[in-house]
Structure 1
Amino acid sequence: MNKINYLSIIVLVGFLSSCQLQTHQLFKKEVITKAESINTINTDSWSFEPQRDTYDKNSLLDLRYLNEKIAGETGFIRLSPSGEDFVKGNGESIRFWAVNSYVWRKSYQQLEDNARFLAKRGVNMVRWHGQIVDENDNKTLKNIDKKARQQLWQYVAAMKKEGIYLTLSPYYAHALKPQENWQLPHDSKNFSGLLFFDPDLQKAYKNWLKELLIPVNPYTGIPLKDEAAIAIIQLQNEDSLLFWTFKNIQGRDLELLTNQYRDWLINKYGSLEQVIKVWQGVSLKGENIKEGQLKFYEMWHLTQPENPNSGKGKRLADQTQFLTETMYNFNQEIKRFLREEIGAKQLINAGNWKTADPIKLNDAERYSYTATEVIGVNRYYNGGIHQGKHSGWAIINGDKFTNRSILFDPYSFPLNLKQVANHPIIIPESSWVPPLGYQSESPFLVSIFQSLTGIDGFYWFAMKEPQWRQPSSANGYLPSLGKWVINTPELLGNFPAAALMYRQNYIKEGETVITENRKLTELWNRQIPIISETKSFDPNRDQDSQNGNTNIGNRIHPLAFLVGSVEVTYGNEKSNKILDLKKYINEKDKIIRSITGEITWNYKQGICLLNTAKAQGVTGFLKGVGEIKLEDTRIKSNNQYATVIVLSMDNKPIKASEKILIQVGTIARPTDWKQQAITWKDKQGNLQQGLKIIDYGKAPWRLENNDIDLIINNPKLTQAIILDSNGLAKQTIKLKSDHSQISLQFPANAKYVVLE
């Protein structure tokens, strides 16, 4: 999703399926009450104005050591024996803490700075999300953007030196603007869906890949196809024949796809006469099936229930199968092309998009990805609604939004994913998107649930600056705030502890709690799976009035995703395996417990706890719950909302560690930010309760003061060192201690404290 191309920027807003809406309504009033209580945090707050990081060797918080000296030094990233995880060239397991960075558009010196800045904060994977097609009017479609390739070459070289791997995303249909002299698309308004079936576009696409991957990178002396620092190649970004954009395929483009459908049907049934018989004479207005003139049902029909034994049911199944296999075959062919004709050795991810109906069509979409090694899906969280003139890419005065913490809405958690057996899964784009104020929870939650469920990469979106970003215009001149930003105090500022405990395996991976086996015919008939993911919403490409029917509940509790991993196998007739979830999900008290016993999420109180030997912490609305007692840590906070992580820095249990990091997050807003509680009607006429932005403020960031007391069961610790944003010591204070524990009041204006 090229959100730097502002006219096509996308905001993903979580929509709940009907089985989840009832639960949502139960706690909606409670969430709004908490949101309304925050008007401005400029009183009792501190100014976040970090010095430029010069990577002083005296920094006490530098995670560069977690990365390899040079990315790919032991060979290409490959799959584990199970096929479900990543390992390095030498077979050692590797976990990726990842970001999307657009700093590749800047100078090489800025790239080097960005690489070092990210490595220091625990990042070991970046995504290059570009457009390799040359969009110059004077060029033919076969030419690539050589400037973009030059920038990518520098990007690879800079990141590689800091032990950071890359994921390449070179093609985005939605952002590619047709040029008159290209002769493609023929009649469609844009490129949506064409790559899956148009031979001329596929020929051009293969040429782009050759021009991108085969030439020698002058900055490394290695062609990208042979570059072990590149871990994953994504074939395309956010496109599908099973999404609402299917309607954009028109004229000669649609005729081409329809003719392919005709040939597919003849191959499947032997003749068009037999097709008519199987379909029981069902036809669409204006077609002559006997003469080979067919039409497709509009996508809406694929989202509706239909008797699979009826003529229409059989026809809809054929259309679903054809569209899915068309995508699968494209993915399979490009994988073959990359391996055999180019010689690329990287893992391949086919796609990362969604469908018109997550219940009926998502499994078909994921099946089409299994032609390659890696499964992907882009999913964001933004607190509900952001409504405004430029809400796709900017925050301005007058915007309305709902400010719902995910801690009250676990159904919308972006990591609630059904994973495909024998394939790793990545989330190539995600974030907790402003104007949502509850952001400090996100690195903590991503870290612990990635660990629990075995999701293999979560890529935060996005950075445009080498280091921090202060509140500033979304496009450089509009009075506004940038929306798709992560290098802020309560997102990137909370990376170090989250990345460290995730990459060091401080949190156990849980066993699979749901194993679903699905016949392919179930996918074609769009039968209801035993569990499905929630909807997400795209205002640029979804159709409000044609969302799929969601008046169907899951047979398995949808919060199973937070107990352990949920897994599906396609083309398998084995029985499903379903763990009894009653002791892990308490609907009455709204409590979810992980199968490992290390994580507890109370979505009534808005609290999530982590309790392991080496990492302990909490995020949420702490003031309302009093003292929180963990295995070796007690936390008491007067902050209404905060995130506190206590973890070992020397890989020893907290009670025996000689070096402990305490990291705290609260709420960050620009200076002079003001918001007002309001009620309004949305575009669908529904009454919404939320907030209106009165003043989006200015630089610098201001963070709510910390008001937190801690007790840690480790009497060996004698001093606390307060760090600045670059990990340098600001002040040293003695700890209060007795024979069994130490205690301290966390500084009001700090994010990091190291105990020694």
Structure 2
Amino acid sequence: MRDGHRAWLAAGIALLLGLCAPSQAQPTPGTSTWAFSPPRDSFSADSLLDLRYLNEKLAGESGFVRSNPQGDLVLGDGKPLRLWAVNTGVADYTSGPARPQWPLGPPDLARHARFLAKRGVNMVRLHKQISPDLQTTPNAAITDINLSERDAIWRTVAAMRKEGIYTTLSPYWAAATKLSDKWGIAGGAKQSAQGLLFFDETLQQAYKVWLKKLLTEKNPYTGLSLAQDASLAIIELQNEDSLLFWTVDQIQGLQRVALERRYGSFLQKKYGTLSQAQSAWRGAGESGDFPPDGRMVLLPVWELVKSPKSWPVIGDPQDLLGGHAVRRADQTEFLARTMHAFNASMVDYLRKELGVKQLINPGNWKTASSTHLNDAERWSYTPGEVDAANVYTGGVHKGVNEGWAVMPGDQFTNDSVLRNPRLLPINFKQTQGRPMLLTEGNWVMPNNFGAEGTFLIAAYSSLSGVDGYYWFATGDEGWTPPQSANGYQASQGKWIFATPDILGSFPAAALAYRLGYISKGAPVVTEHRSLTDLWQRKTPLITESPSFDPNRDSGDIAKTSSVQTGVSPDAFLLGPVQQAFGKDPAQTRVTAQTAPTPGRLQSNTGELVWDAMRGFCTVNAPRVQGVAAHFTGAPSHQLQDVGFTSENAFGAALAVSLDGAPLKTSRRILVQFATQSRPNGWSDISTSIALDDGSRVDGFLVKSIGQSPWMVQRAKLDVTINNTGLQTATVLDMNGMAVQTLDLKRSAGGVGFRFPAAAMYVVLQ
């Protein structure tokens, strides 16, 4: 989650996923582009593209969202629920002083909800901060709550509820929490709050008070408390914090002493006495160990991450390294169990004390090693019902304000996931029987391949059973124009999705994903892991690629693990990859071929094909067919019923049934095509970028950030559909309103047409 979360577009922490694919050429504004300046949506009943009907009339009208035994989300009445979701902070901007470089003016929250519903959104996430705002109320008591944040939550939940949109609530982020010396928290106000909520009892008790005031007091905009409101579907306990991440080493002073005393208590319970623990460690002591005080030193997290050429054998009486291995395993277990215990206590409090019926997500963060620690992190979430992670997609971005803005002089690589499928952000190991969400994600500016994002997320979330992807973020009522990142400084926003490339390509992707038009695959890998294996950090059968946060990870890109796993990470693109905890590893099953033809991956459903060498991916299902591609190397794609041929360098095309019938017999079909866009006047030049590790990569240097409007690459696409019943082709504007008709070319097998150059939607009837 970004720093300064109230200003969603202003002061974020950059969180990019380092990609290694070759950089691609940039579109040049001019005759090859069209100006993206849609009028404000009037929500006319004459719109031919309005997905509001997919949502309930009132979110929660059938009861609380649940998880079924298969680990899928369902509505209160048991109907399947897939989340096409966004992070919104619009409620923060509905009042207050205007910002000189934000031209749109204050957004209308009710219109914002209607706008999202029309484009296929059925869930929003509110990342707020309910701890006292010490900047405005420096004398706040620890039991106070941030009332303005609560009001924004209340107003947003009420507005979204009316449009059938559910809410995920993230009320606490340690990185944004400020402490007061008056609160009696050990270590005082100057320390970071990261990690403290897992074990500091004073902070935990305050957090419970904050939650009680947030969840049990009546929302004046609905007449219900949030605990009673079924439109609030998911509650996150905390955002982006873990005792298995590097920030645990920053816990120092009195809090370090307290945590190490807890460690000592854990060891006494496990071994009987600290002397017996030291005997098990066989001399692997540390100078700071102090058994008389019940305190044992916690090793730097690096000791849990580094992977020797051969792991010491636990139990080897002749090797001191074996003692070090036991100590590392004990520390890993302690940290994981500490988080697990906190999560269990909070779930118990929410359920029994506050009467909360919502699903609970304990966390969404990563660890210091995706190979050796991520599974222990996910195990710690099991007291709640839902798992999650935050993963951003982009490339290298170096600049003075790289964490929150794009500015002249910035350097970047423009990398396409189509060239490197192992870095698809939803390549998750999902815990068996539990929903999995990506609660913050985006193809982050200045990356210019956002159109592949909606296509790939819809396709592969469907295949793997990922239950929701939350695009990050917006503070605008509708579209976000090219504009200052913070409203004051000459820059372009970085953490935005309401662009032609991404938000413009929501409808077809959301429709196909939410209605289940793309099949879920059979499990490719089901890995059973004992808890002992987690504590010993044994290499799993398959591991997720590490993500990258430039504000908390060193270097410029994610460090690729050199550890070899037993199953290729290509398996994530074939079908679901699952894990189960506390089970016999001998029960592990690999149920599909995981060594496919190099460069070409076909899902075990047969509906998805990804050719990384040629740079394209196709969806070929009865009710949805399409392609995302670098068309220069692969211009034509004939699918079961639809053919696409493009002269564009890049784009993503989808044909999806609007009446639920297969495309070959459907009487209403949406054809959607997204290309690329840049701000008007944007320019960049090729350059060589020096990375922090001394290496260099080819990339680009921003010469001009441009201005409004977006300039969109004109479509150069021919479409054929094997459906003889189609009679008309209507071009729509960005609000779904008819603007012109196209001539259909008829053949014995169906119809064909040239996609309009300056549009994104065509409806065939």
Q: Secondary structure at the match of 2:390?
A: coil
Partner of 2:170: 169
Structure 2 distance, partners of 1:547, 1:125, is 30
Q: CA RMSD in A?
A: 1.7
Q: Give the AA of the match of 1:241.
A: L
- 1:561 is matched with 572
Match of 2:637 among 614, 628, 636: 628
User: Where do residues 156-555 of structure 1 align in structure 2 (5 Å cutoff)?
Assistant: 156-184=157-185, 186=187, 189-289=191-291, 292-305=294-307, 306-309=311-314, 310-382=322-394, 384-544=395-555, 550-555=561-566
Q: Within 5 A, what are the aligned runs for 1:672-683?
A: 672-683=681-692
2:546–2:559 CA contact under 8 A, matched in 1: no
Cα distance change on mapping 1:232 and 1:548 into 2, 3 Å: same
Question: Equivalents in 2 of 1:112, 1:76: separation in Å?
Answer: 23
The 1:130/1:308 distance shift into structure 2, 3 A limit, reads farther
Residues 578-609 of structure 1 show CA distances to partners (whole Å, capped at 9, x for unaligned) of 13425x7211xx00100000000000011000
Q: 1:594 aligned to 600, 603, 616, which one? A: 603
Q: Which amino acid aligns with 2:153?
A: L
For residues 403 and 459 of structure 1, the distance between their equivalents in structure 2, rounded to whole angstroms, comes to 22
Q: Distance in 1 between matches of 2:373 and 2:557?
A: 15
What stretches of structure 2 of length at least 5 have no aligned partner? Answer: 96-106, 315-321
C-alpha displacement of 1:288? 3.0
Q: Aligned-pair distance for 1:181? A: 3.1
Structure 2 residue corresponding to 1:704, chosen from 707, 713, 729: 713
What is the Cα deviation at residue 733 of structure 1? 2.6
3-state SS of paired residue (2:587): coil
Residues 182-221 of structure 1, C-alpha deviation per residue, up to 9 Å, x if partnerless? 3436156200000000000000000001000011111111
The 8 Å contact of residues 387 and 435 in structure 2, kept in 1 or not, is answered as yes
Larger deviation: 244-253 or 535-544? Answer: 535-544
SS, match of residue 497 in structure 2: coil
Quick one: distance in 2 between partners of 1:293 and 1:442? 49
CA contact (8 A) 1:357 1:547 kept: no
Shift of 1:40: 2.0
Counterpart in 2 of 1:152? 153
Corresponding residue for 1:12? 15
CA change 1:106–1:474 in 2 (3 A) is closer
Q: What is the distance in 1 between the residues matched to 2:678 and 2:199? A: 47
Question: For residues 702 and 558 of structure 2, what CA distance do their matches in structure 1 show?
Answer: 29
The Cα offsets for residues 219-264 of structure 1, whole Å up to 9 and x where unpaired, read as 1111111110011000000000000001110100111111111111
In the alignment, which residue of structure 1 is the partner of 2:43? 55
Classify the secondary structure of the residue corresponding to 1:256: helix
Q: Which residue of 2 aligns with 1:21?
A: none
1:547 deviates by: 9.0
Structure 2 residue matching 1:559: 3-state secondary structure = helix
Deviations 1:527-562 (A, max 9, x none): 000000011121222245999893211110101011
1:364, distance to aligned residue in structure 2 (A): 0.4
**Deviations 1:104-153 (Å, cap 9, x if unpaired)?**
22449811111100000000000011001112211022211111111211
Q: Which amino acid aligns with 1:286?
A: G
Q: In the alignment, residue 173 of structure 1 is paired with which amino acid?
A: A
> Is 1:103 matched up with 2:90?
yes
Using the TM superposition, give the Cα deviation of residue 289 of structure 1 relative to its aligned residue in structure 2, in angstroms.
3.3
- Equivalent pairs, count: 736
Q: Helix, strand or coil for the counterpart of 2:57?
A: coil
Q: What's the TM-score once normalised by structure 2's chain length?
A: 0.94
Residue identity opposite 1:186 in structure 2: G
Q: 1:548 to 1:285 in 2, by over 3 A?
A: farther
Q: How far did residue 42 of structure 1 move?
A: 3.0
- Cα distance in 2 between the residues matched to 1:664 and 1:39: 16
Amino acid of the structure 1 residue aligned with 2:422 = Y
Structure 2 residue aligned with 1:2: 2
What amino acid is aligned across from residue 517 of structure 2 in structure 1? Y
In terms of mean alpha carbon deviation, does 514-523 or 305-314 score higher? 305-314
Q: 1:692 aligns with which of 701, 710, 730?
A: 701
Give the 3-state SS of the residue equivalent to 1:536 in structure 2. coil
Q: Deviations over 1:7-45 (max 9, x none)?
A: 8622223258xxxxxxx5xxx4xx23xx1x326233310
Relative to structure 1, the CA distance from residue 499 to residue 54 in structure 2 (aligned partners, 3 Å threshold; closer, same or farther) is same
Q: Are 2:55 and 1:43 aligned?
A: no
- Contact 1:273–1:290 (CA under 8 A) maintained in structure 2: no
Equivalent position amino acid for 2:16 in 1: V
Q: Is the 8 A contact 1:304 1:549 kept in 2?
A: no
Residue 652, structure 1, aligned to residue 653, structure 2: no
Asked if the contact 1:75/1:90 (under 8 Å) is kept, the reply is: yes
Higher deviation after alignment, 616-625 or 159-168: 616-625
Identity rate of aligned residues, in percent? 43
Secondary structure of the structure 1 residue equivalent to 2:632: helix
Report the residue type matching 1:2 in the other structure.
R
Following the alignment from structure 1 to structure 2, what is the Cα–Cα distance between the partners of residues 398 and 486? 23
Of 725, 729, 749 in structure 2, the residue corresponding to residue 740 of structure 1 is 749
Q: Does 1:90 align with 2:77?
A: yes
Q: CA separation of 1:548/1:483 partners in 2, compared to 1, >3 Å: closer, same or farther? A: closer
Give 1:308 deviation, angstroms.
4.3
Distance 1:127 1:209, change over 3 A: same
Question: What SS is found at the alignment partner of 1:622?
Answer: coil
Q: 1:465 to 1:548 in 2, by over 3 A?
A: closer
Amino acid at match of 2:36: F
What is the rounded CA distance, in whole Å, between the counterparts of 1:54 and 1:585 in structure 2? 49
Q: How far has the Cα of 1:331 moved from its partner? A: 0.2
Report SS of the residue matched to 2:84.
strand
- 1:140 is aligned to 141
SS in 1 for 2:633: helix
